[in-house]
């Protein structure tokens, strides 16, 4: 009799455990607890072609993976017994105050993730009191995004062979209240994104250039996005064109895609207002280095004359902490914003930014830093540090 009772109890326990696990899975899938979990949610929410357009990188995707992995090889050296009852994450970028050093990277075609597209992203960035860099390839126009809400925003520029397009966009961005131009310099041609080629990724009409150039392109069996970009972008863009850009706008110009000390020095010489250490999230030159590994090289080259921002693989507050310890003033976040948008619209983007901010705040508290200026080089140990200490 008691054996039967024990057996029944055991079966009941097992059933309850299975139910708990199932419930746990359901809860986990709908309520992400960190930024990485938004990726799976986005994959579920999006058609394969769109998810892979967002998630993919160039060729072997070595750089794509390296961006994230490189952060994992840097450790944090915390200081203890510091009064961390108040933490201040606020900072300034080109004179504009933001609530934390976490900004929104430019990325194209937000409407693939959500019908509200960049309007939702812009509202989420504004509510988070941070700066969004609107992509040249946005689904909503420069003007529509500007009208969506009041906020400090920058505009990212690609330069087409027809130079009047860039001139037109810069003039419209300036008129619409954007506060800086972010010239992307790592894209004379589009990187080979094999997922897009396989999926025959189709580019929707480029909203910002409507009426300025024809957007009809023959894909020739591959990705029409690749064909379109390669037929429009100006591969002759060079350093002298920064002077041209400066001559057509009063806005400060940041250069996005600088990953060597040589180019960082020239960027200062030509009067850039800032540099963004970026390999385009591993979407351009595969086997270019993980960005966090070259931040210091760029920081040393610019000698504090202009701000250094870094992007690529930032997925944790501790990543932001590490980037700042290595000398960056701020980070940009790319894919997680798109995943947040795909999973939960405007609210999802807000959540992504909020999670990173909360994690950064916690990392600062646990490492004994009460403000961003307290985060110093001695708070991190890189692979290079470890190698040097062995010599
Ligand atoms: C889907 C997608 C579209 C992008 N579009 C642009 C763009 O239009 N202009 C640009 O300068 N960078 C673009 N980027 C690169 C991002 O600005 C940023 O450098 C990169 O996403 C950072 O890496 P992360 O995604 O690992 O955070 C794009 C990135 C992605 C993932």
Q: What is the pLDDT of residues 37-96, one digit of tens each?
A: 999 999 999 999 999 999 999 999 999 999 999 999 999 999 999 999 999 999 999 999
Q: Report CA dihedral (358, 361, 366, 370) to the nearest 10 degrees.
A: -170
- Rounded (5°) CA angle 118-54-202: 85
Pocket test for ligand 1, best of 281, 289, 312, 338 (most atoms within 8 A of CB): 281
C-alpha 95/C-alpha 10 separation (Å) is: 65
pLDDT of residue 25: 57
Query: What lines the ligand 1 site, CB under 6 Å?
Result: 53-54, 67, 105-108, 135-137, 156, 184, 256, 278, 280-281, 283, 311-314, 333-335, 338
Q: By CB neighbour count within 10 A (0-12 exposed, 13-18 middle, 19+ buried), where does 268 fall?
A: middle
Among protein residues, the one whose CA lies closest to atom 10 of ligand 1: 106
Q: pLDDT, tens digit, for every residue of 301-322? A: 999 999 999 999 999 999 999 9
Q: In whole numbers, what is the pLDDT of the chain averaged over residues?
A: 93
Lookup result for tokens 């894909």? 219
| CA–CA distances in Å: residue 101 to residues 152, 221, 250, 359 | 14, 43, 25, 12
**Ligand 1, closest atom to CA 55?**
31
Ligand 1 centroid–CA 333 distance in Å is 8
Count CB atoms within 10 A of the CB of residue 41: 19
H or E stretch at 91: strand 91-93
Structure token pair of residue 384: 């290079």
Q: Does residue 12 surpass a pLDDT of 60?
A: yes
Spell out the residues 6+ positions from residue 90 whose beta carbon is closer than 8 angstroms to its own.
97, 98, 99, 100, 372
As annotated, the binding site for FMN includes 106-108, 135, 156, 158, 184, 256, 278, 311-315, 334-335
pLDDT of residue 23: 64
Strand bridging mode 102-104 / 96-98:
unpaired
Atom number of ligand 1 nearest to Cα 56 = 31
Q: What pLDDT does residue 9 have?
A: 76
pLDDT at 2: 62
Instruction: Select from 106, 112, 169 the residue to mutate for testing ligand 1; criterion: most ligand atoms less than 8 Å from CB.
Output: 106
Find out whether 290 and 63 touch, Cβ atoms under 8 Å: yes
Token output for 22: 């199932």
Residue that wins the pLDDT comparison between 218 and 111: 111
Cα-based distances in Å from 308 to 30, 189, 259, 264, 297:
36, 24, 11, 9, 11
CATH for 37-390 (3.20.20.140, 3.20.20.70, 3.30.470.10, 3.40.980.10): 3.20.20.70
- The pLDDT of residue 7 is 74
Ligand 1 centre to CA of 298 (Å) is 20
Indicate which atom in ligand 1 lies nearest the CA of residue 53.
Answer: 1
391 falls in which pLDDT band (50, 70, 90)?
A: confident
Q: What pLDDT does 4 receive?
A: 74
Nearest CA to ligand 1 atom 14: 107
Spatial distance between the Cα atoms of 226 and 203, rounded to a whole number of angstroms: 9
Task: Match 């529509």 to its residue by tokens.
Answer: 144
Please report which confidence band the pLDDT of residue 202 belongs to, taking 50, 70 and 90 as the band edges: confident
At 217, the pLDDT band (50, 70, 90 cuts) reads low
Q: Report the pLDDT value the prediction gives residue 204, as an integer from 0 to 100.
A: 72
3-class secondary structure, 170:
helix
Would you state the pLDDT for residue 29?
Answer: 52
Q: Whose CA is nearest to atom 27 of ligand 1?
A: 334
Of the residues 36, 54, 105, which should be mutated to test ligand 1's pocket, given the most ligand atoms within 8 Å of the CB? Answer: 105
Q: Report the residue count for the chain.
A: 391
Residues of the chain above pLDDT 70, percent: 94
Give the per-residue pLDDT at 42: 97
Q: Tell the residue nearest (CA) to atom 1 of ligand 1.
A: 54
Atom of ligand 1 lying closest to residue 333 CA: 27
Is residue 347 among the annotated active site residues?
A: no
Residues 6 or more apart whose CB falls under 8 angstroms from that of 164 comprise 212
The predicted pLDDT at position 24 comes to: 58
Show the tokens assigned to 134.
Answer: 């609107």
Residue 332 C-alpha to ligand 1 middle, in angstroms? 9
Read off the pLDDT band of 227 (50, 70, 90).
Answer: confident
pLDDT surpassing 70 at residue 3:
no
Protein residue whose Cα sits closest to atom 3 of ligand 1: 107
Residue 225 has pLDDT above 80, yes or no: no
How much is the pLDDT for 298? 98
Give the H/E segment covering residue 97.
strand 96-98
Handedness of CA 232, 238, 244, 245 (dihedral sign): positive
Q: Burial-class residue 22 by CB neighbours within 10 Å (0-12, 13-18, 19+).
A: exposed
The domain ranges of the chain are: 1-31, 37-390
pLDDT digits (tens, 9 = 90+) for 245-294: 999 999 999 999 999 999 999 999 999 999 999 999 999 999 999 999 99
Please report, for residues 55, 65, 379, the alpha-carbon distance to residue 103 in angstroms, rounded to integers and kept in the order given.
Answer: 19, 21, 22
Pick out the residues of the known binding site for glyoxylate.
193, 280, 283
Q: What pLDDT is attached to residue 222?
A: 62
Which listed residue (62, 110, 280, 300) is catalytic? 280
Q: Residue 273 — left, alpha, or beta (φ > 0 → left; ψ -120 to 50 → alpha)? A: alpha
Mean pLDDT to the nearest integer, 182-193: 96
pLDDT for 165 beyond 70: yes
How confident is the model at residue 203, as a pLDDT?
A: 76
Cβ atoms within 10 Å of 87's Cβ, excluding its own: 16
Q: What share of the chain has pLDDT > 90, as a percent?
A: 83
* Tokens standing for residue 283: 């979407």
**What are phi and psi for residue 289, nearest 5 degrees?**
-70, 155
Residue identifier of the C-alpha nearest atom 15 of ligand 1:
280
């Amino acid at each position: 009799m008691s054996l039967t009772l024990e057996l029944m109890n055991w079966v009941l326990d097992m059933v309850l455990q299975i139910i708990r696990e199932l419930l746990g899975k359901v809860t986990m899938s709908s309520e992400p607890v960190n930024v990485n979990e938004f990726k799976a949610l986005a994959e579920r929410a999006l058609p394969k072609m769109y998810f892979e357009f967002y998630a993919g990188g160039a060729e072997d995707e070595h750089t794509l993976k390296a961006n994230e992995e490189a952060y994992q090889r840097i450790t944090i050296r915390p200081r203890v017994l510091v009064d961390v009852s108040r933490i201040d994450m606020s900072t300034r970028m080109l004179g504009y105050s933001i609530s934390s050093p976490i900004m929104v990277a430019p990325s194209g075609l937000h409407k693939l993730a959500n019908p509200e597209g960049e309007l939702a992203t812009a509202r989420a960035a504004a509510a988070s009191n941070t700066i969004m860099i609107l992509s040249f390839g946005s689904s909503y126009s420069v003007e529509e995004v500007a009208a969506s809400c009041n906020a400090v925003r920058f505009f990212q520029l690609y330069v087409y062979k027809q130079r009047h397009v860039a001139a037109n966009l810069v003039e419209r961005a300036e008129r619409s209240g954007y506060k800086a131009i972010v010239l992307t310099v790592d894209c004379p041609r589009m990187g080979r994104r094999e997922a897009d080629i396989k999926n025959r990724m189709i580019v929707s009409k480029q909203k910002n250039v409507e009426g300025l150039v024809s957007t009809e392109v023959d894909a020739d069996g591959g990705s029409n996005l690749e064909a379109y970009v390669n037929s429009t972008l100006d591969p002759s863009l060079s350093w002298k064109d920064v002077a041209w850009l400066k001559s057509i706008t009063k806005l400060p110009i940041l250069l996005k895609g600088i990953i060597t000390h040589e180019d960082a020095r020239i960027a200062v010489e030509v009067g850039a207002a800032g540099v963004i250490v970026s390999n385009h999230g591993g979407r351009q030159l595969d086997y270019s280095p993980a960005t966090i590994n070259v931040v210091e090289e760029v920081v040393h080259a610019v000698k504090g004359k202009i701000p250094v921002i870094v992007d690529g693989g930032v997925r944790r507050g501790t990543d932001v902490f590490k980037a700042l310890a290595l000398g960056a003033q701020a980070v940009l976040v790319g894919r997680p914003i798109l995943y947040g948008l795909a999973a939960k619209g405007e609210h999802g983007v807000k959540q992504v930014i909020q999670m990173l901010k909360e994690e950064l705040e916690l990392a600062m508290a646990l490492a004994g830093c009460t403000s961003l200026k307290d985060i110093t080089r001695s708070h991190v140990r890189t692979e290079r540090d470890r190698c040097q200490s062995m010599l």
